[in-house]
Amino acid sequence: MRIGTFIRRTLFLLMTVCLLTGFTVAYKGYEMYREALQETSLQDRVEAIRDKEGYTEYESLPQIYVNAVISVEDHRFYRHNGIDLIAIARAAANDIIAGSFVEGGSTITQQLAKNLYFDQDKEIARKAAEVFMAYDIERNYTKDEIFELYVNCIYFGDGYYSVGDASEGYFKKGPEDMTEYESTLLAGVPNAPSKYAPSKNPALAEKRQMKVLQRMEKCGYFSAEEAETVAEQMVAIR
């Protein structure tokens, strides 16, 4: 990418973050983002994830699992550039109404940025830094690569920090062999791992799974009949 194009896009992104958070917070977030990259490059962070034992490549993931995660976590994943302004605006409105942080509005790319570089603190400046990092990730990696990295560094409960570990731990099989039932069950766990881990709260895990199925139907990945078929599998397995 030419320097002029990069500068224009950076300025546009800075203006967007300023509108969302205010100039002072946006600038502080930009500084946090730059400092994070100076400490460790994005490429090095990515390679560290890819070097993990049991790393699962995108091609080994069942399509139904991919669709389930996108439906429940970031249904505009393939249409945005790392930042979903609609989701952020909705989350901000809900946070204002609640008087606290109750909804994040983070995309899959933003969640990956957080897992690669930042802590779980909900400070606004850190969220701004996350936005800058998400944009950087989108410039350097494809959507499939981003999704692959994401599911290889998120927490699934019970000490499992990747989709491969979680599939082996919960189902005693590799991710490529997960059934529709297992794929949709696992897709719902990272939202609240301590709450939805199948080994801890199977009833709550299935309740969350039903929300995943409903989202998949709403997003067009499942027909009502297909969603009902998976729901019937849930009943049969109990």
Among 91, 125, 147, where does a domain finish? 147
129 and 201, same domain (yes or no) = no
* Residue 115 near residue 78 (C-beta atoms within 8 A): no
**In-domain check, residue 49:** yes
Stated pTM of the model: 0.84
* Per-residue pLDDT, 101: 46
Structure-block tokens of residue 143: 């959507």
* Per-residue pLDDT, 102: 43
**In-domain check, residue 138:** yes
pLDDT digits (tens, 9 = 90+) for 177-189: 999 999 999 999 9
25 and 132, same domain (yes or no) = yes
**In-domain check, residue 185:** yes
Query: How many CB atoms sit inside 10 A of residue 89's CB?
Result: 12
Q: How far is CA 128 from CA 98, 145, 231, in A?
A: 21, 23, 39
Domain that holds residue 214: 154-237
Q: Please tell me the total count of domains within the chain.
A: 2
